[in-house]
Every structure is written in structure tokens, then in C-alpha cells.
Structure 1
């Protein structure tokens, strides 16, 4: 019995739940600025929203407790001379907000203790002014984001092609990362020592925030529209972007080797035109994708260097901005694992909760790993002096029991010990075992379980033995064609010295070793000894040498196999028609003697006995034994020829019938189209009656229908 294997997951049945209109935040005026940002941010107390305001830039801060329709006039956070493009809450202080503006300034704001948005008619509405402004960018500031572990450390990106790292208290920029084009997105790793950026030059760069140097870089999505990036766990990052054909894509990358290309290739999402806004929940290892201009939110579970699609929240209400709530403010007792806040038609903000269906009324520890505590690990001064630490986390059960967050229940997050697959580096004398393809399918739904295609056989066998193993040959070929490049086990110094670094990069992207053959040997095919010599000299790595040996042996096996097949095909034309006249003379008497005329007769003992008059065995053996054998073989060959010819005639007959039917169908289709153009009229009394047919006539004058 066949069945479908379903990947086991605690979050496989997660579903999104919309909110009633009266419990949303209505009567908002979302900014109409075309800059690509998420438009809003949220923390356990407030929503910050880019506001459409006159007289300079402004944004609104809405208390989460004030649900329903907002007043027509509310206090705004004013202080910029141009539109506000982005905001971000301090993760360690819910009252502090940073804003980025078109005027090239960064505003630092503090929500007043007596802040409210409802005023009496006779009261004057008071706007909020910034407590500090950070100046240093030469053009507009597009994005701001606080550091995940260091207190009062802020990063900002600008149209002056730089990302600056600020000490907010000292109002000083300690680091400036220069790019070649406008930065479209950036994110920190978990301890905040590295940063990944995407820009309009279609490059992905990973930076060391201490030194300001690039750790890794490479080409990203090839489409003209903006791409976004989020840092996943440890050494993996995810990006969303577009292909050259404007298809939306998702990709997974090795942060230490961006130049190797996406792990498993680019995953096709759909053909929508809106930019995909990603969000990664580190606790549940779930990636959420929300598209601008559509109302759907997809979510995937990340694991084993792959994304496994869980489900999709579908809505007809389009969103232009979205933000996600920190875990410490969720409805833990209702098994809510994530909550998003999205703008709907630029008129109200709707919360969307994502829940795990559980009947138990107790704390579900299996779906709630430790979450961020909202407590800094290091200060800004310590961070810029070189100190780093993992984020502080708490047990979610503390939130379930409504206990306060204190120093006693906060601890440092455990280091991510995920072991990623690494390319083996065997000796050049023996090549590695064939490895199955790890490429991700381009279909919308990824495979939930991958078969283990790793072969236990070795390519160290002789070419004849290898050619006999068809399965291993096919797996090896598939592995070479589809296997994505992994991190090289050798440095690039000698490649740079020999001028073969570009060749090596092309090799890594295609997974093929032929370019190494051509570049290193002047276009000639290498032997195994020559490849081993190249490995020893350092021109190629041991893993690449193993691949080259594997390729050479595969080609030898292929040639041997083709030679064997050619030899097998040679004896096929054995059918000779020279003995045909002999068949006509000698087959008939043999059939008379050996044919069905031999009738058994009962003897006295009750046993059958054949009359010796019909068959005389002795003369048959002496005189006709050899002619009988040859004539029987020839007769069988003649019968097979007749059967083949009759089958060929039958096939030709069927093909001609099919062609005739196709021509008839085409003629009928053309006639039907003509009738439709002629007779399909609104004036026709019914579908079966032609409007152009004269009364009493059997056919239409125009089309004969």
C-alpha cells in the first residue's frame, strides 16, 4: 500500500487568526511615501506608525490598550523636516524609539510617562519632541535597527551608501560600512558581532562590526527590485528577492561563503510584484514571509539547511507594512507562538495571531523554547571595547505564570551548536562516495522528506566494474550536476597567485570539474596521475581533485559502456534469407512426419504407442537431423519477420487513423469558430438557434451551420 510520508513537526498545524474590526486600530493615516520599509514597529506597549502629516515628517505612537477607532486628531512625534521613513523600538526599553528621516537625521525619542492619545475638546493636543538627534549621514536615512544584545547601540543605513553603528548615549558613530549602492536591508547575527546587508547593486555582504571589514560577499538575487535579508541561526541567512523574470524568490545562504551561491538554489515563490518582507522567529525556527500588496502570510519551518512549508494565512485585505510582537507579550495561555500587526488598506492596523491547536489547559513546554528576555547582555561601552555575549533569555513558563522578569530568572542563551554538512576531503588517490543531490525543487511546496541518496560504493574501482553498476553511475552524475558548492577546504592564496580564482568560483557555482581541467592543463584532458600532481602542488584542493578523478573514471566507464553496447548491437543482423528455398522443400515433409497426424494408440498394457509407420526415428536421425534443425530455425526467423512486418503495418495504420482524426477535429474546430463568430449574437433567441438564419431555413446563409 502506497502512502505519503509527512515530516514530523510540532508546528505543522499552526494557523493564523484574524481580529475583529472593532478590536483593530482604526482611523489611521499611513504614510504615502514610496520608500521601501515596513512602515510600522511594535513592542509590548506601543505601535509606532509612519504617519501622513503636513509640515514636516512625523510618526504616531499608539498604545496597544487603545483598540477601536482612533480620534481624528492625536499627538504626533514631530521633529524631522522631511518624511519619516522608518522607526524602531529599543528592545531593552519600551519607552525609547529611534526614527529615520528623509532629512538625513536620526531622531531619538522617549514616550512621556503621561502619554495619551485621547484629549477633551477644550484641551490642546501636545506633540512629542525628540530627546536627541544623530547627524552624520549626508543623504536620507532609510532604515534603523537597535542592536540585539548591546544596550543603546543603533545601526542606520543611508542613501549615501553607508551603514553607521552608533553609540546612542554618546551620540557618536563608531563604525561606517561603505557600500557601492543604496542599502535595501540589513540584519545582525544573534550576538551582534556580524551584520549582513543587501543593496541595489545585487550584492550580499557580511561585515565584522568590530573591524568594519567584509567577511564574505557575493551576488544575490538578479532581479531589479529590492531584496530583503534576515539572519537565521549561526552561519545561515535567508533572503527574499526577484529573478530576472520578476518571479519572487527565497534563498538560503552560508554566511561564511556567500560567493558559493544559495544553498539548494533559489526557491520560486510566485509571480507577484510586491516585495516580500521576511521575519524569523529564533525560538520556533519559523520564517514568515509577508508580501507587499497582497494579504497572505506564508510560514516555513527551517531545519537541515532547508525550508519546510507549514501553511499560509490567506486574506483578501492587502498589507503594505507589517511588524511582529516580541514573544514576552504573546497570549501564552492560548498557545499563541507569533503575533503580527499589519496595515490594511492604509486605514487600520490589524493584529494576526498564529496559534498551535492544543486542547490541554496547562503550559505547553514543547512548543515554547526559551525566548528573549528584553535584558541587555553588554553595555554600549563594553561592546565597542570588544566584549560580546549571547542574548539573555527566559523560560516562557515564567510568562505563563505572570511572574516578573528579574535577574534571577534571566540567563544567557545557549550557543547554537547546529552541525552543518561539510564537504569531505579524501586523499587524491581515492575519490569520495557518490553523494545525492541536495538541490531544492523549484516547486511552490518543498519535499518534506529527502531520501538518502548517498552511495556506499567507492569510485576507486576499475572502469569496467564501475560501468557495470548503473545505479551508482546515475547517482554520481546527478550529484555532479546538482550538488551546490560548499565551503572550500583550502584558502584562495595560491589560486590568486596562479590566476585561477575566477575559474575556481565558476567551478563552485556549477559543480563541474571540467573548467579546472581546461584552466590547469591548457584545454587537454587530465589523467588521474596528473590530477594527483595538481593536488600535491596546491593548484587544486583535495576535494576538487577527488571530483576530477571521479569525473575521469565516469567518462571512462561511459566509454566502456558505449563500446559494450556497440558490440552487443553488432550480432543483431543474423537473419539471412538464403535458406528460404530449402525451407519450402524440406519443412513440408517434416511437418507431415512430425505434425499432428501422429495419433496415439492404446496397447495391451494400456500405454500409448506411436505407430512406426508414421515416424521412423533411425533414418530421421541419420539423414534429416541437421537439415531439420536448420530449417526449423529459419522457419522461426521467418515467422518473427512476418509478425514484425504485420505489427509495423498495424502501427502505421493506427498512426494514419490518428492523423486523420486530428485533421477532422481541426476542420470541425475551424468551422465551429466560424459559426461562433457568425451566429454568436446577443440577438439570438437561444444558444441553439442562429440569429442570422432566415425563418424556415435549415442552414445559416453565412456559415452553413
Structure 2
């Protein structure tokens, strides 16, 4: 009896492709040498920002079309950054507006260096920051900005983490976030009632990210210093739903997740060679558990200092790009394209489902009041790229179809019980807040993020 031995997947032949010429890279960049496993890079469909080795300075947002040597003097957009001077900055220098400094030090902010900043996925102008100090009770703080250009501290968590926080990740609609701590635990917040098990037994840094279905994907090390990938249920975390061991390299794995296709790309930082792995998470069938399937590996000769990932709406759909990474070398930034080989130049509906757009689904006041909403989805197809199939999966006449892609709202999720925010901490600033479309800029510190 014939039995299939090859698993079917539309991403099985994905491959990475570096730039052919050096003039396609961003050169003359001295990447920061801060000893922290961070991406050191933020990118959106319009701009690229990199943390550089300088005193109190960072590379401003450079247009993606400006390859070659990068110089200062560009227009900035919104970007959030954390620094070793305990401050969190939100800059928007284009148009003459000054930067907005969130409170730092004492009861109004962080008392140690800030290395984690991340935007809320659906609420406008809501920012989460976390301190990196190893003292008692590292702080996780949620900030909100108003239309008047002031910042308020919404929530502050001081007693949940006994040690260093490695990373923070929001879930799909922003109702939960999870943290990876040096005590080898992954904590969903709000936390479940039962005790948490250690995610990885190794002492090296680990990472945790929320998946689209509510599961938690982690990267870490075993007791024998073998790198691992694991999939967890955040409610019942007695043992992993799936566990895969990779190799014995010492570089921490930085995961990049595509919620539309369930593809995770793990990148090792500070390895002897640049290496990235692409894995696919599949849904569980009746009586089975979810699986993590290996897709492909991209290896380069030079190690990477950091890595940035382009949002889905900035990819070239006509070339079947499913991901684009910006690899940081010692003196340059190199774009690496992950492509699925297809013969047709038409829009591939199976590769590009609707993805999260740049518009916010909620205002900050609505999120504080307890409301949650799914991201506003848009089609990645551009008007210049003809479609391959219709809404029902039937072949479409590309000569008669000229409708551009349109965004639409998804029904919001049920409201959650959220505690009232703490007393506001206003900060004087005159900053005009706009819709976060194509925002990025730069600032010093061990962490950098752009919405």
C-alpha cells in the first residue's frame, strides 16, 4: 500500500538569498557592542534604524531606498527606545516636534537601565518597557500618551520577576503578554492560578513569544547546553506540547514570528557563522499534539551582531517574499530575503493571507477601560500585482479585475477584567501624535523598537 513519506507544505522549499552586490547594503555603520542579546535594529516599510556604537547617539531612520553609506540628517518618525540612563524616549523629529521623554528614576519610572520596549499590537500609543537590572523586582511598566503630548504610567509590575527579564511579547490582540525571566520561567500576564514549570533547564538566555492561537513558543538551552525550541500551553505548562533540540552552539536564538502563516524564524546572535532556521508550526489533529516542522536553514560566512525583521505589509509579494531580515554586521547592514520559489508572477493567495495593517484598532482609553480588539487586517496585494484567485478560491480574470486591496475590521474580542491604572505621571512635552504609519527613528540604548 502506498504511503506518503513527504509532508506537504507550501513553505517546504523556502530559501534565503543575500544581496548580490555590496551596493545593495547599508554601509559605514558601527553597530553597538553592548553585551545584551537584542535585535539592535528596527525596520518598517519606510525606514531602518540601528543602534550604533556612540556616546548618547543612535543612527536616525534611513529610508530603505537609500543604500550605500548612511549619513545623519534624515527625517525621523515615531520610534521608542530604552537607554542605560533609566529613560524611555519616544521621538518624532520630523516637522519640528521635540522628543517625548517618559519618566525615569524613582517611583515615576525605572531605576536601572531599560533594554526592552515594545508597542501594543492594537491600541494606539500604548508602550511597554522593562528594566534589565538583576536586583530585586525588575519593573515592567505600561505607558500611554495623550493627544496633548503627555505621558502617563498605566500599570507597573514590580513583584512578579525575581531576576533579569530577557524579553516581553504581546499576544495577537494585546490582552496578554508573556515574559521570559532568568529564573528559567515563562510568565503569562495576567498569570494563571497554578504553578509554572521551568521552560528550559539551561542557564543561558531564553526567549518566549505568543503565537496567534494563544500558545507560547520558546527558545532556550537544555541542561547540557543544547539549543531547544519548545511549544507550550500557557494555561497548563506542566510539560511542553512539542520540543525539538537543535545543536550545541552557544548563541542565543532570537525568534521572529509570522502570525499569518505560523512560520517562526530563529536567528542566532554572536555565532561563529551567521545562521537562521525557519520552522513551521502545524495545528493538532484529532488525538494528536501540535508539531514543529523544520523548513530550511540559511547560513552565511560572517556572524551577525543583530537582526531586524520587515513587517508583512512591506514585503515584495510579486517576488514571493515571505520574510525579509536586516542582518547587522560590524560595519554594515545586509538585507536577506526569504523566498518561496514560484513560477507565476501573480499574487499568491496561499502565501499571503490578510495581515495586520498600520492602523490602530483601539484608542488607549478604550484599552484601559477593558476592551480588546483584533488587529485591523489588510491585504498584502498591491494594485500593481494581479491576483491569482477570487474570494472563493476560483481562478480570477486578472484582465478585468482592478479592485485595490481594502482594509476591514474584525469583530472585537470579549472584554477582559483589567485592574484600574495607577495614578498618572504627566510629563511636559509638546508632541503631536499621529497615526503610527511608517514610524521609525532612533535613540541610544540596548533596545529599539518601531511599530
TM-score (norm 2): 0.78
On the 8 A contact 1:57/1:101 being kept in 2, the answer is no
Alignment of 1:251-266 (within 5 A): 251-258=230-237, 260-264=238-242, 266=243
**Please, which moves more after superposition, 130-139 or 307-316?**
130-139
2:406 matches 1:409: yes
Measured after TM superposition, the shift of residue 413 of structure 1 is 4.5
On the 8 A contact 2:192/2:235 being kept in 1, the answer is no
How far apart, CA to CA, are the structure 1 residues paired with 2:74 and 2:32?
A: 13
On the 8 A contact 2:178/2:208 being kept in 1, the answer is yes
> In the alignment, what sits opposite 2:391?
none
2:282 matches 1:303: yes
2:318 matches 1:333: yes
2:164 matches 1:163: no
> In the alignment, what sits opposite 2:333?
349
Alignment of 1:600-615 (within 5 A): none
Measured after TM superposition, the shift of residue 132 of structure 1 is 3.1
How far apart, CA to CA, are the structure 2 residues paired with 1:312 and 1:25?
A: 24
Among 75, 84, 87, the residue aligned to 1:105: 87
Measured after TM superposition, the shift of residue 131 of structure 1 is 3.2
Alignment of 1:475-490 (within 5 A): none
2:155 matches 1:175: yes
Measured after TM superposition, the shift of residue 27 of structure 1 is 0.8
How far apart, CA to CA, are the structure 2 residues paired with 1:57 and 1:139?
A: 19
Measured after TM superposition, the shift of residue 70 of structure 1 is 2.6
How far apart, CA to CA, are the structure 2 residues paired with 1:149 and 1:362?
A: 31
Alignment of 1:514-525 (within 5 A): none
Q: Secondary structure of 1:411's partner?
A: coil
> In the alignment, what sits opposite 2:50?
49
Q: Which has the higher helix share?
A: 1
Q: Secondary structure of 2:23's partner?
A: helix
Root-mean-square deviation (CA, aligned residues, Å) is: 2.6
How far apart, CA to CA, are the structure 1 residues paired with 2:192 and 2:382?
A: 40
Q: Secondary structure of 1:364's partner?
A: coil
Among 244, 254, 257, the residue aligned to 1:277: 254
Q: Deviations over 1:472-523 (max 9, x none)?
A: xxxxxxxxxxxxxxxxxxxxxxxxxxxxxxxxxxxxxxxxxxxxxxxxxxxx
Among 379, 392, 395, the residue aligned to 1:395: 379
How far apart, CA to CA, are the structure 1 residues paired with 2:128 and 2:386?
A: 33
Q: Deviations over 1:33-80 (max 9, x none)?
A: 1122111110111111111113x3534322212101234xx2499xxx
Among 184, 187, 194, the residue aligned to 1:205: 187
On the 8 A contact 1:328/1:399 being kept in 2, the answer is no
Q: Deviations over 1:432-467 (max 9, x none)?
A: xxxxxxxxxxxxxxxxxxxxxxxxxxxxxxxxxxxx
How far apart, CA to CA, are the structure 2 residues paired with 1:215 and 1:409?
A: 42
Distance 1:382 1:408, change over 3 A: farther
Alignment of 1:15-30 (within 5 A): 15-19=15-19, 20-30=21-31
Q: Deviations over 1:633-661 (max 9, x none)?
A: xxxxxxxxxxxxxxxxxxxxxxxxxxxxx
Q: Deviations over 1:221-249 (max 9, x none)?
A: 11111101111122211111111221111
Larger RCO, structure (CA 8 Å, separation 6 or more) = 2
> In the alignment, what sits opposite 1:187?
169
Alignment of 1:230-245 (within 5 A): 230-245=209-224
> In the alignment, what sits opposite 1:286?
263
On the 8 A contact 2:244/2:292 being kept in 1, the answer is no
Measured after TM superposition, the shift of residue 130 of structure 1 is 2.4
Measured after TM superposition, the shift of residue 398 of structure 1 is 4.3
How far apart, CA to CA, are the structure 2 residues paired with 1:215 and 1:166?
A: 26
Q: Secondary structure of 1:251's partner?
A: strand
How far apart, CA to CA, are the structure 2 residues paired with 1:67 and 1:276?
A: 28
Measured after TM superposition, the shift of residue 316 of structure 1 is 1.1
Measured after TM superposition, the shift of residue 400 of structure 1 is 5.3
Which sections of structure 2, spanning at least 5 residues, go unmatched?
Answer: 284-289, 388-402, 414-451
Measured after TM superposition, the shift of residue 373 of structure 1 is 1.2
Distance 1:414 1:241, change over 3 A: farther
Which sections of structure 1, spanning at least 5 residues, go unmatched?
Answer: 78-93, 115-127, 417-705
On the 8 A contact 2:80/2:88 being kept in 1, the answer is yes
Q: Secondary structure of 1:367's partner?
A: coil
Q: Which has the higher strand share?
A: 2
On the 8 A contact 2:39/2:307 being kept in 1, the answer is yes
On the 8 A contact 1:26/1:348 being kept in 2, the answer is yes
